[in-house]
Structure 1
Amino acid sequence: MQFSAAQIALLINGKTEGDTNATVGSFGKIEEAGAGQLAFLANPKYEEHLYTTQASVVIINDALELKQPVKATLIRVADAYSAFASLLTKYQEIEAQQLMGIQDPSHIAPTAKVGEKVFIGAFAYLADGVVIGNNVKIHPQVYLGKNVRVGDNTVLHPGVKIYHDCVVGKSVTIHAGTVIGGDGFGFAPQSDGSFKKVPQIGNVVIEDFVEIGSNATIDRATIGSTIIRNGAKLDNLIQIAHNVEVGHHTVIAAQAGISGSTKIGSGVMIGGQAGLVGHLQIADGARINAQSGVTKSIKSPGGVVTGTPAHGYTSALRSQALTRNLPELEKRLKELEEQIKLLLAEKV
């Protein structure tokens, strides 16, 4: 698909400088892009590439003052990064609109209900009672168990598995290999040392505008629902245990693990490889640094923790500074010990 600079500017509410008829058919990094490609400049560190890039069109910030002539056609916007993200979203939507119809072989149970303008890829399986909204894209090898509901405009990428009775909202994106609704890790210890499985009869509810990365796992609740609230964003390889709640617009980076029944507030940011024990309360706006081990609730909105066990960020920095100074402190301690010995010897 080819787009002119004028068309792109219209889509992102920008102003063009240069040839408005310049056309692009793909995207590229500003330092690598060639003729016929669109790039963007948001980070000042890359400004030098603006003057040498071979891209045909570049999106830049309104506030940027040029230091040299630029060969490319420019589109000025208030925020180049956000504008470029919006443009990529529109581009994906245009591509997705071309996906439609039901491929063979696929299985759609007689009691399943499928909306309009839906794409169902080969080897997909829709069990009894499944309900699919309009404009949904179900890629090959997706499995939807009994009574699963999927809202309008949602995209399920290849190999997504959603167990029975789970609910996925509107405009949700779930990437390849993710499993929704597997059993929570519930086992009751017995007197003989063995463990008896506790049936997991709840479900998972994923609200609207959520995005979940590849190979994540979200366990069904023991009773009730594991809930991912509106606008939350989950990275790849994340484990969400039974009865966890993730708040609105919370973001969780890769390899984090959330133990059972922990409640995470809205606008929380959780770094990669962080681990949270069960039954915690995490206040709105909290920040949990990468590889933190959180063993206690964060009760103050906007609180920041780091380390294992996780504690206040500022005190953690002081502790780290002291740790770095330990060799010098040890040296000074030995010197003081020697001086004390000499003083004691003089008194004798």
Structure 2
Amino acid sequence: MHLSLADIARLVGGELIGDGNVEISGCSGILEAKKGDLTFLANPKYSPQAETTQASAIIIPRQMTLPGKFFIRVDNTSLAFTQVLNRFIERLPNHHPKGIHPTAIIAPDVKIGKGVAVGAYTVIESGSSIGEYSVIYGHCYIGHGARVGSNSLIYPQVVVREGVLIGQRAIVHSGTVIGCDGYGYVTVEGRHVKIPQLGTVVIEDDVEIGANVTIDRARFDKTVIGEGTKIDNLVHIAHNVTVGKHCLIVAQVGISGSSRIGNYVILAGQVGVVGHLSIGDGAVVAAQSGVSKSIKAGEQVFGSPAQPIKEAFRTNAHVQRLSHYAATIKDLKKRIEELEKKGQ
């Protein structure tokens, strides 16, 4: 497949500087691109590479220019490049399973929608339903009464436990378990007695869940992942947590039980959230922060314990100077002792 630069500029609504007849046959990163490729510049630190890239054309920010290069100016370079990628991907064959594999074990009463594909050795238990045009790869398990909405994609070795509800256009990557028991125990006479976890998990529409994620079922009622939220690999979400709409949860985040995460919240890598608190809409928690109290809407926090980000940066600056402060205090102490001796 080939697209002319003029076609690409129209597709992304950009301003073309260069020969519109130049044909693009693929997309690549700025360092790896070769003749015939389109690349893009999203991070200014790669500007020197943009000047030396072998790509035939570059998508760049609206305010930028690149003498001697063919380029397309746009407002959002990542979005524009994604639009072009999607146009190329449309023409590529996919490798999803087709139809129902003969080794799949599907209970007789399971409701299978039009165009559903189920891979080898997948098990779908009684009372479940799979929405139309969804794809369930091989070696998956869909428990009793679970529901997978239409146009969803479940990769190999995913476990969807009994009663879990997954919405439309969901993507769940390999190794993820949705609906495992919440971590609930009561200590009686020195022994930890398991508390039954009777609730479920609800995954709303357009959610993507990375690899090896665990989402616990609620003790009662439901654990909820809101519409459009994107969860990275190796995240744990405990029982009765509610995650709002369109959140970004990055790798190795852990959210303890019964916490409530608002809409459009960003939890960066390795953030830890204690239980029974709330994080307001639009809040941002920087990487490796420990959240021990509720956070207001729109607030940006960092550190452990997490604090307003500017305050945290000031604190960190002082921490880095502790050895200097210690030396200064030692010197001042010595001077004071000398003055006291003279005073005697």
Could you state the TM-score of these two structures normalised by the residue count of structure 2?
A: 0.90
Q: Does the C-alpha gap of structure 1 residues 115 and 91 become closer, same or farther in structure 2, counting only changes over 3 Å? A: farther
- SS of residue matched to 1:337: helix
Specify the alignment match of 1:331 in structure 2. 327
RMSD: 2.3
Q: Does the C-alpha gap of structure 1 residues 290 and 78 become closer, same or farther in structure 2, counting only changes over 3 Å? A: closer
Counting only pairs closer than 5 Å after superposition, residues 218-229 of structure 1 correspond to structure 2 as 218-229=215-226
Specify the alignment match of 1:32 in structure 2. 32
* 1:221-255 Cα deviation digits (max 9, x unpaired): 11100000011111100000000001111111111
Q: Does the C-alpha gap of structure 1 residues 51 and 291 become closer, same or farther in structure 2, counting only changes over 3 Å? A: closer
- 1:166, distance to aligned residue in structure 2 (A): 0.5
Unaligned regions of 5+ residues in structure 2, if any? none
* Matched AA of 1:316: A
Q: Percent identity?
A: 42
**Does the aligned pair in 1 maintain the 2:233–2:250 contact within 8 Å?**
yes
**Does the aligned pair in 2 maintain the 1:22–1:57 contact within 8 Å?**
no
Which one of the candidate residues 190, 196, 201 is aligned to 1:199?
196
Task: Work out whether 1:233 is the aligned partner of 2:234.
Answer: no
Counting only pairs closer than 5 Å after superposition, residues 96-107 of structure 1 correspond to structure 2 as 99=96, 100-107=98-105
Specify the alignment match of 1:158 in structure 2. 156
Unaligned regions of 5+ residues in structure 1, if any? none
Specify the alignment match of 2:121 in structure 1. 123
Specify the alignment match of 1:305 in structure 2. 301
* 1:242-291 Cα deviation digits (max 9, x unpaired): 00001111111111111111111111111211111111111112222222
Task: Work out whether 1:79 is the aligned partner of 2:61.
Answer: no
Counting only pairs closer than 5 Å after superposition, residues 245-324 of structure 1 correspond to structure 2 as 245-298=242-295, 300-324=296-320
- 1:133, distance to aligned residue in structure 2 (A): 1.4
Which one of the candidate residues 171, 174, 177 is aligned to 1:173?
171
- 1:91, distance to aligned residue in structure 2 (A): 4.8
- 1:325, distance to aligned residue in structure 2 (A): 2.2
**Does the aligned pair in 2 maintain the 1:183–1:220 contact within 8 Å?**
yes
Specify the alignment match of 1:41 in structure 2. 41
Could you state the TM-score of these two structures normalised by the residue count of structure 1?
A: 0.89
Task: Work out whether 1:242 is the aligned partner of 2:242.
Answer: no
Rounded to whole Å, the distance in 1 between the matches of 2:313 and 2:215 is 33
Q: Does the C-alpha gap of structure 1 residues 14 and 316 become closer, same or farther in structure 2, counting only changes over 3 Å? A: closer
Q: Does the C-alpha gap of structure 1 residues 93 and 159 become closer, same or farther in structure 2, counting only changes over 3 Å? A: farther
- 1:126, distance to aligned residue in structure 2 (A): 1.6
Q: Does the C-alpha gap of structure 1 residues 57 and 343 become closer, same or farther in structure 2, counting only changes over 3 Å? A: closer
Q: Does the C-alpha gap of structure 1 residues 63 and 314 become closer, same or farther in structure 2, counting only changes over 3 Å? A: closer
Rounded to whole Å, the distance in 2 between the matches of 1:209 and 1:93 is 19
* Matched AA of 2:112: V
- SS of residue matched to 1:267: coil
- 1:307, distance to aligned residue in structure 2 (A): 2.1
Rounded to whole Å, the distance in 2 between the matches of 1:173 and 1:194 is 40
* 1:121-148 Cα deviation digits (max 9, x unpaired): 2222221122111221212212111111
- 1:102, distance to aligned residue in structure 2 (A): 2.3
**Does the aligned pair in 1 maintain the 2:27–2:85 contact within 8 Å?**
no
